[in-house]
Structure formats: C-alpha cells, structure tokens
A and B are shown apart, each in its own frame.
Chain A
Amino acid sequence: MAFDIDKYAAGSERLGWDDLDLEHFRQNPLSPETLRTLRYMADVEYHTVCYTRDLLTTPSHKDGDISTFMTMWNREEFWHGEALGAVLEVHGITVDYDALRASRLKLGWRDRLDPIKQSMLGKIVGSDFVAVHMSWGAANEWSAVSAYKRMADLETDPVLGELLRRIAKQETRHVAFYVSQARERLQKSKRAQKLTRLLLSKFWAPVGSSIMERDDVQFVFGQIMSGVEGRKEMKKLDNNIASLPGMQGLTIFEKALDGLGVAA
C-alpha cells in the first residue's frame, strides 16, 4: 500500500500532553529503573536530527517525498523528546540543551568521520543506498513501536502508559513510511537487496547504541526485551525485517540482544 505523504504532512502534529496530569508523578513517582529507561529514550529522540545528518549525506534528500517526510518526522521525534523530558522534569531530572550537547561532544572522531564514510558509500552505490537508508529506518521505527508498547505494558502507571501509547501511535506512522519506501526500492533492485542485507547484518545496532554508554544500552534492552514476552517481541521484529524483499532469514534483533547479553 502506498504511503500518502501529503496526508501525513497535513496531519503531522507535535505530540500533545497538556491534558495529562504530569503533576500526579509528584505523589506517584516512577521507579529509578523506569526513569533511566525514559532518559535513554528521551536522548535517542532528541538525537534524531543527528541521524538525519547521516542519512542526508546519501542521495535521499533529493527525493521530494523523503524530504517532506524528514521535515515532519524530525519535528515529531523532537517532541517525543520533549514529552519524555517533561515527565523526567517532574522527577527533578533536567534534560537541557547543554546536557545534550555534552553527550553529542562525546561522540568524537568516530562520529565525525561517519558522514564522510556514509556519503562516499552513498556516492558509490548511488540510489541503491536510499533503499538501505529506508530499510534501516524501518528497523529503527519498528523497534521504537515495540519499545514504547512494551514499556506501556510493563508500567502500571496510567498517565505514563497513555503518554507512551501516544508516542507509539506516531511511531507506527513512521514505520509505514519507511516500510513502503523500503519495499518499493528493494523490489526494484536485486543489487539494493544484496547491499541492504549485507549492511543490516554487519552494521545494524539498536537505536541509541552509538550515542549511549554500553551499560545504558544493556540496561534498557534488558528492561524492555528480556524474558518470554521480550523474546516474543524480538521474534516479531525479526519477522518484520525478514518480510522485506531479499531480507528472508535475517535475525538482526536476536543477534543484537544476544550480543548485549539480554536474558531470554
């Protein structure tokens, strides 16, 4: 099914939470574990624009649909960060611009060379790389939906649950865009399929891996993806990826969770 980009753009709104009583957390504070995971998610959301940078160095930005999507998507993700930031704020945890900058500065050399590497890769394989970009985005957005839904199920707090479900709802629209793009582009080119398969299996890592400390990554994925239910969710994610043209049999999520030592 084709994704209606005009409809998406017209309906794109910043996430609202004015009707939710965040002050309720003052009497019913969230656990430190939950706050740690929320902090991780807020950081990832705020850093979306940095991922955009890596993606924009490929030929993708010249495509009208893609640049329209990126404009709206960037802003929606920014507001996911703001929403989670508001919850943290009530708990006395401040996510300010300087703190975010500090974590971006930590990225150092590896990060600096990333757009160069990506862009050269982009030039070499031309438009096939757009298919990689779109498949990558699909994997990330799929995992965002799972993470927010799992978190909402695990949490008993009704206010947090509602907020997370609202975020998850926007994430499903992101999935729809990336998947429709990825499918179409992979379908058209065997070379794009091969390249995507290679890069996903070699380089894909859960969102946030490149910007957060490893023990944060382990902690967060342990919290939301461990146990029987977590593994079930993981299988679902791998099946989603495997449903893309040429991606049959890939198990990137399983590999990632095993690599992080997340208990089954």
Chain B
Amino acid sequence: MTTSPDPQVARPFDIREFTRTAQGNFRSELDLASYESEPLSAQELEFLRYAARLEAATMEHLRNLLVTATHKDARVTAFLVTWAFEKFWMADALDAVLEAHGLPRTRTVPEGAPRRSADEAIQRSGPIRRALAAVGLGTPIVAVHMTVGLIDEWILRAAYDHLRETTTSSALRDTIGRIQIIKTRHEAFFADETDWRLRDSKAAVRRARAALLTAAWPIGGVERAAVDRDMFETFVFGGTGGAARAESIGTRVAALPGMDARMGSVTAKKLLP
C-alpha cells in the first residue's frame, strides 16, 4: 500500500516501514536463566504481571476505538493492527520472565475486582454507549484517541524507566529496554497524529480536553484490578521523585497543541497514588 503525500503536513512517521518491520516473538532472545540465581523481588514480579495485562489488553482497547469513526481511517487502523501484534509479543516476553520464576502465564491468572468510583463511570461505558456518544462526532474522535494513546505511552515509559532504574537485575533491565525500543515507534506514531490533528481542528481540541478531564490512566485502567492500580501508582508516582515524574508528564500534556497548564495539572494529579 502506498501512503498518499499530505500537502499540508509532512509526517515523518513511516507507517509502511512500521508495518513491514513489526517485532514478533522475541522470547528466545531473553536472558531467562539468570533469574535462577538472581530472582526478581515480589514487588517487581507484581509490576510485571500488571504490565503484561496492560500490554495484552489491545482487543479491549481496539473495541472502544473501532465503534467510533476511528475505524474509517485506514492509516490509523493499519497502525493499530500492527501495534496490537507487537504488544501481544511484549506481553508474552513479560510472561516469559514470570514463568522463569515458576509463575503461571498472565491469561490464566484471574484478575482482581476493579475500582468503583463515580468519576470513572464514563470510562466504564460499554460499546453501545461509546458508539452512541460518538455519533455525529466524526473525525475529532480520532484526535482524542491519538492524544490519549500518546499520554498512555508517556505513562508506560515513565513506569518502565523507573523499573529499569530501580532493579538490580541486568537481565530485567535488558528485557525492559528491549520492550521500550519497540514502544518508541508507537509513541512516535501517536505523537505525530496528535500534533497534526490537534492543530487541524478546534473541535478536536475541545473533545480532547473534555476527554482528559474524565480519563483514567493508564488506558484500560478501569477494567484492571483496584489493587494492581494502587500498586502501579505507588511504585511509579509515589515515593521520592514520584510527584516529579507525574509533573513531567503533565508538562508535556500542557505543551500539546490546544492544551494548557490546567490540562497538564489535571493529568498529573490523576497519576498520583
């Protein structure tokens, strides 16, 4: 497939190259043997379990995007198809680390009960409500999905960075580093799309601002277990430097087209434990 040149925006992200060079299974390249002599801490394993759930939840997320006008955009769906494939294998790599510790793979482990808070109710709305809510919205919804996708990548990057900085296991550092390289292209795509779409349309900015007010992080968080979310927030955004990490994400949100300090601090606040 060829990509039509866009006269207005030069998009540096090469979707064709991305789809052609997707990263599949890399389990065999992981250093799993070293965990025998140097096992990870219970806290690290808990984090990996949750990260595996987040990376694997692509079909849930795809469902929420595809019931809206986002499915009409063939460039975005080409990306999403490949993105889901890469995330599947990232989750598999995380499972490999868990299995090396004698733990079962994530899909066989029942998930705990989700949080029940009124302000996140909208995030829990099923496909019917999402489809109804999207009727008449047209393309601005794509901008919303791209913006939320970008911020989600920033959050996961902060989390993986923090894990790499705090772990004593070089094997884990390598595996997480490997995953982060794959995620670089996802972030680049969302960044490109967010930038031009928010610049392109005032309606898109309005919708994105409204979405950030009700967002729950990371994406799909409302479906995840309350205990896992607490653990994630405390680990990444609690303790020394935690607030600064949340703040740094807030600053980047504020700098997006059409966003401001208010949107930045709303987002940063939601990340805190």
Chain A residue nearest to B126 (CB atoms) is A119
Q: Are B74 and A101 in contact (CB under 8 A)?
A: yes
Whether a CB of chain A sits under 8 angstroms from the CB of B269 is no
Output the least CB separation between B266 and chain A (Å). Answer: 30
Decide: A49 near B131, CB < 8 A? Known: A61-B63, A101-B72, A101-B74.
no
Decide: A97 near B63, CB < 8 A? Known: A57-B127, A104-B72.
no
Partner pick for B88 among A46, A68, A97, A120, CB 8 A cutoff: A68
Residues of A within 8 A of B59 (CB): 56, 61, 67, 70-71
Q: Are A104 and B85 in contact (CB under 8 A)?
A: no
Q: Are B135 and A112 in contact (CB under 8 A)?
A: yes
Residues of B within 8 A of A105 (CB): 72
Q: Mark B19-33 against chain A: 1 for CB-CB distance below 8 A, else 0.
A: 110101100000000
Partner pick for B85 among A75, A85, A107, A119, CB 8 A cutoff: A75
* CB within 8 Å of B: which A112-151 residues: 112-113, 115-116, 119-120, 123
Q: Are B25 and A57 in contact (CB under 8 A)?
A: no
Whether a CB of chain A sits under 8 angstroms from the CB of B54 is no
Output the least CB separation between B37 and chain A (Å). Answer: 28
Q: Are A57 and B80 in contact (CB under 8 A)?
A: no
Q: Are B128 and A50 in contact (CB under 8 A)?
A: no
Stretch among A88-96, A161-169, A190-198, A235-243 lining the B interface: A88-96
Give the complex CA separation of A112 and B134 in angstroms: 9
Residues of A within 8 A of B67 (CB): 53, 57, 115-116, 119
Residues of B within 8 A of A52 (CB): 62, 66
Chain B residue nearest to A88 (CB atoms) is B1
Q: Are A46 and B131 in contact (CB under 8 A)?
A: no
* CB within 8 Å of A: which B34-78 residues: 58-60, 62-63, 66-67, 71-75, 77-78
Whether a CB of chain A sits under 8 angstroms from the CB of B82 is yes
Whether a CB of chain B sits under 8 angstroms from the CB of A171 is no
Decide: A104 near B74, CB < 8 A? Known: A57-B67, A71-B59, A96-B1.
yes
Give the complex CA separation of A203 and B84 in angstroms: 30
Residues of B within 8 A of A14 (CB): 20, 22
Decide: A71 near B84, CB < 8 A? Known: A50-B66, A82-B1, A85-B1.
yes
Decide: A97 near B4, CB < 8 A? Known: A56-B59, A56-B63, A67-B59.
yes
Output the least CB separation between B25 and chain A (Å). Answer: 6
* CB within 8 Å of A: which B1-23 residues: 1-4, 15, 19-20, 22
Output the least CB separation between B6 and chain A (Å). Answer: 9
Decide: A56 near B62, CB < 8 A? Known: A10-B25, A101-B72.
yes
Residues of B within 8 A of A123 (CB): 128
Partner pick for B132 among A49, A75, A116, CB 8 A cutoff: A116
Whether a CB of chain B sits under 8 angstroms from the CB of A9 is yes
Output the least CB separation between B123 and chain A (Å). Answer: 17
* CB within 8 Å of B: which A39-81 residues: 46, 49-50, 52-53, 56-57, 61, 64, 67-68, 70-72, 74-75, 78, 81
Give the complex CA separation of A115 and B174 in angstroms: 42
Residues of B within 8 A of A50 (CB): 66, 71, 77
Q: Are A74 and B74 in contact (CB under 8 A)?
A: no
Chain A residue nearest to B80 (CB atoms) is A49
Residues of B within 8 A of A74 (CB): 81, 84-85
Give the complex CA separation of A14 and B127 in angstroms: 30
Output the least CB separation between B80 and chain A (Å). Answer: 7
Whether a CB of chain A sits under 8 angstroms from the CB of B116 is no
Whether a CB of chain B sits under 8 angstroms from the CB of A98 is yes
Output the least CB separation between B177 and chain A (Å). Answer: 24
Whether a CB of chain B sits under 8 angstroms from the CB of A263 is no
Decide: A78 near B78, CB < 8 A? Known: A64-B107, A115-B131.
yes
Residues of B within 8 A of A61 (CB): 59-60, 63
A-B pairs with lowest CB-CB distance, top 7: A53-B66, A100-B74, A56-B63, A67-B59, A97-B74, A104-B72, A64-B107
Which residues of B are at the interface with A, using a C-beta cutoff of 8 A?
A: 1-4, 15, 19-20, 22, 24-25, 58-60, 62-63, 66-67, 71-75, 77-78, 80-82, 84-85, 88, 107, 126-128, 131-132, 135
Q: Known contacts A82-B19, A97-B78; can you find 10 more A-B pairs with CB under 8 A? A: A14-B20, A52-B66, A56-B59, A56-B62, A95-B1, A101-B73, A112-B135, A115-B128, A116-B132, A120-B128
| 12 CB < 8 A contacts A-B | A46-B74, A49-B71, A53-B66, A57-B67, A72-B85, A74-B81, A75-B22, A78-B19, A96-B3, A101-B75, A115-B67, A116-B67
